[in-house]
Amino acid sequence: MVFRQAGQADAQTVLALYNSVKGTPFCVWDEDYPGEEEIRGDLAARCLYVLEDMGETVGAVSIVPENETDRFECWKVRQNAREFARVVIRPDHQGRGLSRLLVEGVVKELRARGAEAIHISVAKTNIPAGRLYAKAGFTVRGEADIFGGSYYLCEMVLDTEVGKQ
C-alpha cells in the first residue's frame, strides 16, 4: 500500500471514488458534495492524498488547509491543529482495514508537519467511522449540528509538549 499526495492525474479517479459511496449506508454525502469543486480546491492547496494498492487507487482523504471546526470551544488543543475530511474507500475494498491506513497516513504526514493535534467531524450516523477513529486514538470532545447533520467532534492530540500537559 502506498499513501501519497494526489496530482491532477488523480482527479477523475477520486471523483469516481466519491461518487461510488454516495447513497450507501453510513455515507452522509449528497449528489453534489464532495465533487469537482472540492477536488480542484484540494489539488490547488496540495492537500489531497490517495491510497494505492498495486498501483490502483482504492482510497482518498483531504488534509484541509483551513479548519472549519476551529470555532468550537471543545478542543483540548486549539493552536497548530489540523483537520482532515472526505475519507473514502472504494466499496469493493471496504472492511479490509484500509481506512485505518488512510488515517495512519494522515497522522504521519501531520506529525511531520509539526501539528500538535488532529481534528475531524464524524457524522453520528456513520458508526463504522466513529469506531475507526476511536480505535485510532481520537477522543470525542463535543457534538455539533453542522453541514446539515449531527456530528461528533473528535480530536487526536499528538506527541508534543502541549499534548503532555
pLDDT tier at 165, thresholds 50, 70, 90: very low
Tell me the C-alpha distance between 107 and 102, whole Å: 9
- Rounded mean pLDDT, 14-43: 96
pLDDT at position 163: 40
pLDDT at position 164: 44
* Contact of 99 with 136, CB cutoff 8 Å: no
pLDDT tier at 116, thresholds 50, 70, 90: very high
pLDDT tier at 162, thresholds 50, 70, 90: very low
User: Each residue of 123-159: pLDDT tens digit?
Assistant: 999 999 999 999 999 999 999 999 889 999 999 999 7
C-alpha cell recorded at residue 121:
467531524
Domains of the chain: 2-164 (3.40.630.30)
pLDDT at position 109: 95
pLDDT at position 160: 57
Q: What value does the mean pLDDT of the chain take?
A: 93
List all residues 6 or more positions away from 81 whose beta carbon is below 8 Å from its beta carbon: 67, 70, 75, 115, 116, 117, 118, 119, 155
